[in-house]
Structure 1
């Protein structure tokens, strides 16, 4: 197992310009990041992209401010005009100054002028919200919550096309793309994306056809030919629709039998790609706000990832929060629906939840939705659609493709799937047909397509290793609680939706009996340490400190302890990983 960097601010993976995670190697460094201490923040030029605006994106924003802004103005850059307008309205709504000038500027890069240009040039439009400096914190909230900000790769391309080409040496400007094209001349000999499109799940014979392609890509770099971006997106939608349609793989259960047919086929036309997983959730919520007239509150069932709750609270009429996500919560919800005290447009939940790994009772939630006419939106990121089949119970299934679907921690992405078997489908489909605009950046799609080809193999290995790690933690006298779907009181609900070949996933949370041991263990552990999950390498973080530092007392009410450590299991050799974890436990001095 390679030695992970323990230097503050190092990208994870190392030497990766568009890395998704960043090294926060100690408990103190994580607190320092949350408190904005210079000794941490000044060493970082990237972080998790929704929370820490990438240095390339910051550079683009500064160039736009210099060229188009007025003194004291800032800007936030988005890939769609309507997204920028939404941000502007959010700023206006939340700002104390309702009269300040806030405007949206559209900029478009040059289109290709020859066939040769198609490999490296693509016409794209960005939309910049320009606002007073005092509004920046509010604009940053929109960036974080919605997940709709411009990606660092798109920003890099726009900087080159709109700023660096003007009056610059053409040979220098095109140097990066010349290198890419040299690799592409070799890659074009093997139509890897086309081969992937022909089948969602490659058989062994098809794998032989792609063996040479894999060698070429590993030797000469990723597919960076922009003209293949549309094909990559088709491949992604087909791969997602094929893997998500696992309802027929549910274990034989009389309670689930009537619902099986709801997931036997998912059309790729009902799969929508977004720049982030949070953008998928945000747009699912936007859809419900539009198809329910008047818009109603939503339910957030179970303690979710932080920005899911922020979306439901800050956009639209608000939400009702059942943070425990247990049967008693459903009893309370059902009573409110029955008496008319509660009238909702949708219920949002995670399956299982992050970080407590609780599984909702989806069959019962579906029964309530059918009876009272609300939508069910399920985020299956943590479980992943190879392990569990939530589709029969959900009107909308959302997922962060940034996580295990990609694995490489170098590209963001999200998906949203509509269930054509449920009553709200027609209204939802009409909304997305009229309102969806593809703003997933071409290069990001190319990277994600390549990364996700071995999704199934990686998922199976992670499932197996995770069980061994859970067993290690469960036997340790130092650890007071292990959070994992197979150990939870809600295991019966997970097992009811578990696919025939599925496992319990790669996310584990732990609590130590002594809080000081949590800090000792985390500081000593020789693993990658930073935000995100589902990476091909094991990744740890003091989750509550990282995600809820300003609300530690509030989240404790929902069972999220401030000393909780979350570990996402990767592809390391199982025995080596177990030995690394054992050494860290021994460092606490109580084994």
Structure 2
């Protein structure tokens, strides 16, 4: 059952992506830094809340290599740590330095299953600059994962010996044993030992022991899986037939990242290195997409409404010569208002005026919609429905081989791209995503039933959903034959008091993220835009908006829970 206790991870495992904020007041208290909430927050969304394991690693590195008055953050490569250094230096006069640390390579065949040679970059900065470093961590999405932090901590600071093949096999057998469950109620050993043992069982249930030597194969499987789904309707792509190039999307055009935000950050970084200039953010996006466009590079033109009138204005500005842009970034559909942009018209403008188009299709997901023909790059957060289990952060970026920017982008990625997706995270993601298509089908069907229920409630003034949106015709133009309308729904009550009552009463998981295998709700504007509630109203996002991400619960059970809360 969904926990109603502040700060409990969702799901309640060591590497969970979401965290419980069970009431409207708790969400406000979190945003305002009130102790009755913050004192209970032992976990959180990884880009916003630095995992305890990573904090411990940073503390040990600081104690060993740091200087007086410094703090540090650990990144998955030296190049990323240098990017963080440059970000801080542009905004502060403090002295910033970078250190590279490496772990040992496996020596024996047996060690290859549990050991991998890797390097991290450590950015040291004055304590007063921590907010800037944390800002880079959040916006870029390039921080290390909690699993990587756990591994680096063990390799650098914990004395250990090599694991033999027989010991590894014994560990696999033990991890499948139901007796580990019973250890929870055992009186032997400390509570910490019991909890650690149980967490190990959960993370390795059904024999899902992570064998690190298969990480490369897992990543290839992920790229092929993404490639197949993105290109599901390739025979319908008119541009391919016209070109007669015979060049279709391949797995080499799919790049993996440590978060969805990192894929957007890298797309922007690549374009700045090829054709520097301002970008357009079309439509009201997820908060850090706009932060990336604002804080890295020369700036952004924000067309927050993302409607036909905004597109007409953009076209006039481009025609008049008063506006020249590097790229246009948009979501399809947008989060949280579920608007679908006119991608066909955007592509026409891109072709005519020579700017790149980057589409984030996380909310729609690449099984439901086909955006590649209208984009030069397609970004996606694999943390969401592709994974579903809410226990791993990852992202992907797909290059369109038919794009006029493709040759330059491909050369850039061939020389500059770093594979920063931690091997254990890749292994988890590959396993999580095997039933991606089946889950999407089920979530799509349930979501339409939920929309029907919510639309019939007289206390609700508006239901935001791609199928019921005024922009549905644009969604239908890009919807795959077997696709649906996704699992994200936003609602607005006539009375703000009713919104609070409903949210507090509804028996669902409540916290950040979306696309989880369990239904997840949050007061979105409060959680994502608390410091700018008046500003976002201008773009049609009400401060009392509630967002619900539909999961895999039985229809009858989920509808009943919602109905009880509405009543």
TM interval, shorter chain, is over 0.9
Superposed, which structure 2 residues align to 1:153-552 within 5 Å? 153-165=147-159, 170=160, 182-183=171-172, 219-248=205-234, 257=238, 265-292=248-275, 295-552=276-533
TM-score between both structures, scaled by the size of structure 1: 0.88
Q: Is the CA contact (8 Å cut-off) linking 1:223 and 1:447 kept in structure 2?
A: no
Structure 2: distance between partners of 1:49 and 1:471: 34
CA deviation string 1:500-523 (max 9, x = no partner): 000000000000010000000000
Q: Is the CA contact (8 Å cut-off) linking 2:239 and 2:373 kept in structure 1?
A: no
Q: Is the CA contact (8 Å cut-off) linking 1:245 and 1:264 kept in structure 2?
A: no
Give the superposition deviation at 1:183: 1.7
Q: Is the CA contact (8 Å cut-off) linking 1:119 and 1:226 kept in structure 2?
A: yes
Q: Is the CA contact (8 Å cut-off) linking 2:259 and 2:383 kept in structure 1?
A: yes
Give the superposition deviation at 1:265: 3.3
1:43 match: secondary structure: coil
List structure 1 segments (4+ residues) > 3 angstroms apart after TM superposition: 177-181, 184-187, 216-221, 247-250, 256-265
Give the superposition deviation at 1:260: 7.3
Could you tell me which of 31, 34, 41 is aligned with 2:28? 31
Could you tell me which of 41, 64, 69 is aligned with 2:66? 69
Give the superposition deviation at 1:185: 10
Q: Does 1:116 align with 2:113?
A: no
Structure 1: distance between partners of 2:172 and 2:2: 29
Aligned to 1:142: 136
Aligned to 1:213: none
2:90 match: secondary structure: helix
Aligned to 2:185: none
RMSD of aligned Cα (Å): 2.1
Give the superposition deviation at 1:38: 1.6
Structure 1: distance between partners of 2:36 and 2:419: 39
Q: Is the CA contact (8 Å cut-off) linking 1:404 and 1:455 kept in structure 2?
A: yes
2:515 match: secondary structure: coil
Could you tell me which of 1, 4, 8 is aligned with 2:2? 4
CA deviation string 1:443-476 (max 9, x = no partner): 0000000000000000000000000000000000
2:67 match: secondary structure: coil
Structure 2: distance between partners of 1:90 and 1:230: 32
Q: Is the CA contact (8 Å cut-off) linking 1:509 and 1:565 kept in structure 2?
A: yes
Unaligned 5+ segments in structure 1 are 188-215, 251-255, 587-591
Q: Is the CA contact (8 Å cut-off) linking 2:361 and 2:371 kept in structure 1?
A: yes
- Structure-2 change in CA distance of 1:361 and 1:71 (3 Å): same
Give the superposition deviation at 1:113: 1.0
Q: Is the CA contact (8 Å cut-off) linking 2:9 and 2:16 kept in structure 1?
A: yes
Superposed, which structure 2 residues align to 1:554-565 within 5 Å? 554-565=535-546
Structure 2: distance between partners of 1:321 and 1:370: 20
- Structure-2 change in CA distance of 1:460 and 1:89 (3 Å): same
TM-score between both structures, scaled by the size of structure 2: 0.92
Q: Is the CA contact (8 Å cut-off) linking 1:508 and 1:567 kept in structure 2?
A: yes
Structure 2: distance between partners of 1:506 and 1:220: 28
2:531 match: secondary structure: helix
Aligned to 2:80: 83
2:386 match: secondary structure: coil
Aligned to 1:210: none
Q: Does 1:101 align with 2:82?
A: no
Could you tell me which of 544, 550, 553 is aligned with 1:572? 553
CA deviation string 1:352-403 (max 9, x = no partner): 0000000000000000000111100000000000000000000000000000
2:326 match: secondary structure: strand
2:366 match: secondary structure: coil
Structure 2: distance between partners of 1:244 and 1:331: 29
Unaligned 5+ segments in structure 2 are 177-201
- Structure-2 change in CA distance of 1:181 and 1:531 (3 Å): farther
Give aligned pairs, total.
539
Give the superposition deviation at 1:248: 3.9
